[in-house]
Amino acid sequence: MNSQERPPDYKNASLPVERRVADLLSRMTLEEKVAQLTCLWGSRPQVNPQTDFSTDRGDFSPAKAAEVMKHGIGQIARQRERKDPRKGAEFANAVQKWLRENTRLGIPAILHDEILHGHMAKGSTSFPQPIALATTWDPEFITKVFTAGALETRARGSHQVLGPNLDLARDARWGRTEETYGEDPYLTSRMGVAIVKALQGAGPGVDDSHVIATAKHFTAHGQPESGTNIGPINVSERALRESFLPSFKAAVVEGGIMSVMPSYNEIDGIPSHANKWLLQKVLREEWGFTGHVVSDYYAIPQMMDLHRIAPDKATTAKLALEAGVDAETPDPDSFPTLLQLVKEGKVSEATINQAVARNLRAKFLLGLFENPYVDVERAVRVTNSAEHRALAAEAARRSITLLKNENNLLPLNLASLKSIAVIGPNAAQVHLGGYSDEPGRGVSVLQGIKDKVGDKVKVSYAEGCKITKEGGNWFADTSRLSDPAEDQKLIAEAVNVARSADVALLVLGGNEDTNKEAWADNHLGDRDSLDLVGQQNELVKAVKATGKPVIVMLINSGPLSINYIAENVPAILEGFYLGQETGVGVADVLFGDYNPAGKLTISFPRSVGQLPLYYNRKPTARRGYLFANKEPLFPFGFGLSYTTFAYSNVKVSPAKIGPGDRATVSVTVTNTGKRAGDEIVQLYIRDLVSSMTRPIMELKDFRRIPLAPGESKTVEFVITPDKLSFLDLNMKDVVEPGWFDVMVGTSSVKYETVKLEVVAK
């Protein structure tokens, strides 16, 4: 009797996870196993279809659940179609309750979501885009942002997020540049590890305030051929290992990431979703990854439709599964054919079992078998809470980079200013960028300034011109340029507004129509030019002709070739996309309540003809062009402040080490101005003579430090062997004897240099 009443091992929370997985797997039918490898999005069990945006789609449908989840389900995609936190949490609970009570084994589902810059769902807090957050060079602060995002996601009933994006942005034409942390592998690695730990928590399990993170897009997605999304990447194994893989390796080895998503692109003729070398040899065997691999949306059937390496969906399913893909998202497309493939002996059930076990392991580590439900009231309480709104405002402040400030035009003096003209197509609207939903709150630059100055300063507004007719719609398939004749009228109005003001702020750049993810032939988002779209330069020229001081605030998705502005406008601020509190951050920086400290993590080209332009180039990479300046408009690591900093006493000790030894680099940094400010101290290294060609410089460490006026601090960096090593002819890590330049400074073009010698032992 006692034996009969004892629950099965998989329901016993006191047993090791691996034993619970094995027990559950042994009880499953083949149909139940294949169901665990699939996901629902368009056919989710809800009253109205996912594509129906005219109604509240929060209601769970038991009848549809019986149709689409009769054998259970592995995952359910995206809570963003839920109307609000309450509806989302209620839907999630209904799904889990039905699975627990109406399927044979009661296996819960993983609900997954996007978290590029906060939970992508109605009402959730929208933080700055990653390319903006990266300018903080502050992993500790990034931890706070993604801890908040994880909480809002889990509270609503989701368990896994498709992020962080660990791609390197090596071609600014690419519409997904905004999703990255820039062009450098070291900085991206540091940000990535911080984000993974913030999302997943302390481990080894994932508690009810955290989620499973998914590293994407594995790999080399950010330098596609022609700069167009999902284009082939034609690089060597050496380039992969030294540039594109380090951020993913750090997420696995240091961050303990629990999920990985392959990229859409091909490498050396092999699509990543069929790349056994990438997903098995490198990811699992070399790095020791034990989590589950999820496909990118529709990437598996694309091996038939786009890559043309398979004649049918059954073949794509076999290729992906045997390469190491454990789950198909977002809908059951190719993987349902696995049922017949096993029956025909074309795919082994052992291979199915391996993938199913990885997915089940994630569910056990999430604690879903013990409690798959969420507290609806908690979801409402934590979503876009006052604390998270304050954090989003701080993120907006920290994500602004001062690119130019002639004659200290900035910050504006509120005491002496009588009127300000706020002009431009991005002044009165909040632009969040891609993978955003409606946060329920948004402060434009215009509103932020009005809130800041109150009745002390007259604020006048003019649109000035338009960028696109749609005004910025990331989901729209069309992107139409504005009408030049209409723009000329708007420019004339803006000139009149500027003439009556003491100073003009032009809020320019791009919007969600001018750069975005190009996910289909009829939904383009990449560019063949980085110039300002439309009549924006003409607007700048017209306002500047009034003789009034001009400030440009850029809101955009990535680097722009703003040559005229850089040469002719005295003050320039770059914000990229600053999130829901855009106006709060801009106003605080504009009027000096916050001293900007951002530093660019991606080089700004003068034209697309310079691309690729990443700073850590090889010695032969940039001979130059006829009739053109070969240097970037604004370099990697660059950013000004309302104060000034001086570097002195750069030392390395000892100055001579063995290949396995360490050295310490120290530098004294002094705030030589009259304002408190943060400085981002950057350490670069160059191997002067090596058996393989090496970059002219590589970022190897950085530190963000606050300094009061006149204050000095000594910053120390430890040079470990991994900071000096590279892959030799046999693709083995080696530190070769010889001389190294150690560069410490404020950017990749302004630094002090000391020599370090490595001697053979």
Residues marked active site are found at 296
Residues 6+ positions from 286 with CB-CB distance below 8 Å:
none
**CA geometry: angle 355, 196, 332, nearest 5 deg:** 35
Output the six-digit token pair for 44.
């989710």
**CA geometry: angle 187, 192, 196, nearest 5 deg:** 160
DSSP character string of 137-196: --HHHHHHHHHHHHHHHHHTT--EE---B------TTSTTGGGS--S-HHHHHHHHHHHH
Residue pair 439/578 in contact by the 8 Å Cβ criterion: no
Rg (CA), the chain: 27
Residue pair 406/487 in contact by the 8 Å Cβ criterion: no
Sign of the dihedral defined by the CA atoms of residues 215, 221, 227, 231, in that order: negative
Amino acid at 603: S
As a residue count, the chain comes to 761
DSSP 8-class letter at 220: T
Q: Which residue has the tokens 């029956």?
A: 343
Whole-number Å distance between alpha carbons of 669 and 650: 10
Whole-number Å distance between alpha carbons of 213 and 258: 6
Whole-number Å distance between alpha carbons of 46 and 348: 34
Residue pair 506/562 in contact by the 8 Å Cβ criterion: no
Whole-number Å distance between alpha carbons of 184 and 169: 8
DSSP character string of 22-83: HHHHHH--HHHHHHTT-EESTT-SBSS-TT--SS----B-HHHHHHH-BTB-SEEE-STTSS
Residue pair 570/540 in contact by the 8 Å Cβ criterion: no
Residues 6+ positions from 37 with CB-CB distance below 8 Å:
74, 321, 326, 327, 328, 335, 338, 352, 355, 356, 359
Whole-number Å distance between alpha carbons of 40 and 72: 11
Closest CA to 459 of 489, 427, 425, 492: 427
**CA geometry: angle 78, 83, 88, nearest 5 deg:** 55
Whole-number Å distance between alpha carbons of 39 and 328: 6
Whole-number Å distance between alpha carbons of 53 and 484: 33
Residue pair 727/667 in contact by the 8 Å Cβ criterion: no
Whole-number Å distance between alpha carbons of 663 and 182: 28
